[in-house]
Amino acid sequence: MAGHAGTFHQRLAEALNSSTLSLALDRALPTFRQRRALAFQGEDFPALQADLAARRAQHVAQIPDLLERFQQAAERAGAVVHRARDAAEACALVGDLVERYGVRLVVKSKSMVTEEVGLNAYLSARGVQVVETDLGEFIVQLAQEHPSHLLAPALHKTREEIARLFSALAGREIPPEIPQLVAFARDHLRRFFIEAGMGVSGANIAIAESGTLVILENEGNARLVTTLPPVHVALVGLEKLVPTIDDATAILKLLSRSATGQPISTYISFITGPSRSADIELSLTTGVHGPKAVHIIFVDNGRTAMRDDPEFRAALQCIRCGACANVCPAFQEVGGHIFGHIYTGPIGLVVTPFHHGLEHISDPQRLCLGCNTCDTVCPAGIPLASLILSLRERVVARKGLPLPKRLALDALAQPALFD
Ligand code: SF4
């Protein structure tokens, strides 16, 4: 799959020499920054940040208890809750469900956890067609790449590159005009929502008191993915658990502002169990207009290890807004395919060792300039810069220093050389 092929230095050179990448990043990232700044104008951001950081630290401390409470509440509402210790278990659980329900076509809304566990490749290898319906994910899937940004998967692509991809799919020329590109994607994807046997989503928040999933989006595709197919499967990282709807609201207040500069996202879905009705003789029936079955898979895949690490447990406070990448000077120059692994940007560097292994960030971490700008925008108060510095120490402890630095330090350790 493109985006991770070649050595780090080859990919870095390609990124630095790519005029289309710099054009795409220049078109998108300053806009993200301006919108975020406007969204917080007149707000006491440090106070909001301190409040959310304190809440999120509490949530992380309570994860095992919140999971129990979520499971009880969700199952009372008719959903089925599963737990996956790692990526292989998460994929196998979805594989079992696909088999049980005889599914041949899956539609998906944006979910970084499914990227993390490699779900698309797993299902495709079993002959199941997977169609990404988020516009950015659809583009990335067509290009056979990974997302380059937590929020905007196709941030690295210009509209001209996207027009070429869509034209090849359509068998006719689609002009590089954004309204035409969006219209093509809408027309192309519509039938898949109806024909799919399963919709797979992530979730931004999981509310323990009611067993509710909260999904934020602007396009409307997540609503279709989670309501039109007869089965909805949600893959959710353990860090998404919060105790109450009040805690969910605290996240909602900062998430869209930090992510896209909107006071609130266009669509916010609260999903508590399968669709139901008691309109006929007050007899409760499931699967009316929405799915008859809802399965929620909580994914650990390194999160418990992160929680057990006194320094890195703070990374679980992340609400995945992407703001840290938007302000990062290194990300601005090289984009997420270089500056990260599956998760990109500053938070990507921090969580990747726990999900995928330290070796995947041993080169990208060198791009961090230590400017601390990410810390100043993180709504969850995560000390990203110091965590990246700690990772650097762990990488050096594992691999040793790069040769030029080792030689320089060896020289400094021999004062006689300077006489
Ligand atoms: S680390 Fe902070 S700024 Fe970065 S994505 Fe997470 S919440 Fe947003």
Range of the domain at 254: 62-305
CATH code for the domain of 329: 1.10.1060.10
What ligand 1 atom has the least distance to the C-alpha of 322?
5
Q: Cα–Cα distances in Å, from 278 out to 228, 231, 282, 285?
A: 20, 20, 4, 6
Q: What is the pLDDT of residues 107-162, one digit of tens each?
A: 999 999 999 999 999 999 999 999 999 999 999 999 999 999 999 999 999 999 99
The dihedral sign for the CA sequence 163, 169, 172, 178: negative
Tell me: do 81 and 209 sit in the same domain.
yes
346 alpha carbon – ligand 1 mean position (Å): 8
Tell me: do 211 and 168 sit in the same domain.
yes
pLDDT at 249 > cutoff 90: yes
Choose one of 248, 281, 305: the last residue of a domain: 305
pLDDT at 415 > cutoff 60: no
Please, what is the average pLDDT of the chain? 94
48 CB less than 6 Å from ligand 1?
A: no
- In this prediction, residue 259 carries a pLDDT of 97
- Non-local CB neighbours of 194 within 8 Å, separated by 6+ positions: 228
Residue 410 in any domain: the answer is no
Average pLDDT over residues 22-39: 95
User: Is residue 133 a contact partner of residue 107, using CB atoms and an 8 Å limit?
Assistant: yes
Average pLDDT over residues 302-314: 98
Half-sphere exposure of 178 (CA within 13 A, CB side): 4
Residue 47 in any domain: the answer is no
Choose one of 273, 305, 337: the last residue of a domain: 305
55 alpha carbon – ligand 1 mean position (Å): 15
Tell me: do 191 and 340 sit in the same domain.
no
Tell me: do 278 and 205 sit in the same domain.
yes
pLDDT at 3 > cutoff 80: no
User: For the chain, how many structural domains are there in total?
Assistant: 2
pLDDT at 1 > cutoff 90: no
Choose one of 305, 336, 364: the last residue of a domain: 305
Q: Cα–Cα distances in Å, from 219 out to 180, 301, 392?
A: 16, 29, 38
Point out the least confidently predicted range of 74-83, 353-362, 402-411.
Answer: 402-411
258 alpha carbon – ligand 1 mean position (Å): 9
Tell me: do 274 and 129 sit in the same domain.
yes
Tell me: do 266 and 324 sit in the same domain.
no
pLDDT at 270 > cutoff 60: yes
Tell me: do 129 and 239 sit in the same domain.
yes
CATH code for the domain of 175: 3.40.50.10420
347 CB less than 6 Å from ligand 1?
A: yes
Q: Cα–Cα distances in Å, from 220 out to 133, 157, 215, 356, 396?
A: 10, 22, 11, 31, 45
Average pLDDT over residues 48-52: 97
Tell me: do 316 and 287 sit in the same domain.
no
- In this prediction, residue 399 carries a pLDDT of 76
